[in-house]
Amino acid sequence: MVWHYDGPSRRGRSSCRGRPSNPRWLARCLIPRTLVPSRPGGATAPQIERLSSAPSRLEFARDVAAGLSDVPRWLPSRFLYDARGSALFEEICRLPEYYPTRTESAILAAHAEALAEITGPVTLVELGSGSAVKTHHLLRAYGAALHRVHYVSIDVSEAALADAAERIVTQHPAVRVTSVVGRYEEAFQLFGRYSPCLVLFLGSTIGNLNHAESMVFWDRVAEHLAPGDFFLLGVDLVKDPQVLERAYNDAAGVSAEFTRNVFRRMNRELDAGLDLDAIEHVARYNAAWQRIEISARFRNGQAVRIAPLETTIDIGAGEMVMTEISRKFEVRRLVNYVACFGLAARAIYTDPRRWFGVLLLQRKEES
């Protein structure tokens, strides 16, 4: 379902491999194929670049101690994603209750060609790409339209990047992959290098940022995109709270294990000495704030040791530690919000139930 679209018309196709007469497409069609380094079977070898290494044990200790000392107590959600946490999140994405992944994937499958036609030739730059499964639809459409496509994937997990790159170059011979190990917050500096680009920020990861983090995020996006560059945003939409709460309280208990995983990591890396069986996962929809709030409830009082800092924090029986928020959005409000940062909505796609939205934004000219 397309809500609105004010891009170029689909009429006037050129003879360039059946592509439209969009001048950006024509220019890219003239690039000789021989510029692309090749691997057997026509695929190109993935390149790897590092922006940062994993957070140090001391950084983890400091952030955990600060969050647990705060009111209310909280932990930064990025620490949920160690190797086990990333694998658990992949499992969540396949759960029957967790609709966002498959809904967004269906939207991308249905509209990938239209997106490619609107943007013309661009480098695809994905923030927090993970396994990049949904990106396949875009790579298919851009690959069909171009002699070659450059896909730059940025993620903290080198293993996930390597797996995804291997799969992509095998499935999509027209795609050249550059894998960048780093946090997406560090990747803004790359936008200029890859302009003209389409930056992908899928999976409603934007919903995991609080209001202050979100302002900083959009400010930096706007600062680093060149006028005319595109940004594709996947967002989970406001809906029946029962549907939302089911998605974060699955029957198999994978979401609960995902929440508990950060405490397992604290036991391993900080020698925290926590009884994990006494930590409960709680996920509730806060309608006033339009967000799912995920916390860990301590059934018993526990002393949390933070060995690198030689300190202990006491948490009482029944106390909660917030591990994550997942904001839900209304399309019209979000369009107004991003416009404040110089981004115009060029197309808005959703599913028949209007559960998830994919917004194609474009950086406006400086005024």
**Binding of ligand AVI by 204 (CB under 6 A):** yes
Contacts of 4 (CB under 8 A, 6+ apart): 345, 347, 348
Which residues from 222-251 bind ligand AVI, rule CB under 6 A?
248
Cβ 202 to ligand AVI, closest distance in Å?
9
**Binding of ligand AVI by 103 (CB under 6 A):** no
**Binding of ligand AVI by 86 (CB under 6 A):** no
**Binding of ligand AVI by 203 (CB under 6 A):** yes
**Binding of ligand AVI by 255 (CB under 6 A):** yes
How far separated are the first and last CA of the chain, in Å rounded? 32
Q: Which is nearer to ligand AVI, 100 or 121 (CB)?
A: 100
**Binding of ligand AVI by 341 (CB under 6 A):** no
Q: Which is nearer to ligand AVI, 17 or 94 (CB)?
A: 94
Q: Which two tokens stand for residue 177?
A: 């992959």
Cα torsion 336, 342, 346, 347: sign: negative
Q: Out of 43, 61, 75, 92, which residue is the one contacting ligand AVI (CB under 6 A)?
A: 92
**Binding of ligand AVI by 258 (CB under 6 A):** yes
Q: Out of 119, 178, 208, 261, which residue is the one contacting ligand AVI (CB under 6 A)?
A: 208
Q: Which range of residues in 3-11, 13-21, 46-54, 197-205 is near ligand AVI by CB under 6 A?
A: 197-205
Q: Which range of residues in 4-12, 102-110, 168-176, 205-213 is near ligand AVI by CB under 6 A?
A: 205-213
Q: Which is nearer to ligand AVI, 104 or 117 (CB)?
A: 104
Cβ 270 to ligand AVI, closest distance in Å?
22
**Binding of ligand AVI by 129 (CB under 6 A):** no
Q: How far is CA 9 from the centre of its chain?
A: 30
Q: Which is nearer to ligand AVI, 145 or 206 (CB)?
A: 206
Q: Which range of residues in 136-144, 199-207, 217-225, 347-355 is near ligand AVI by CB under 6 A?
A: 199-207
Binding site for ligand AVI (CB under 6 A): 92, 100, 203-205, 207-208, 248, 255, 258, 324, 326
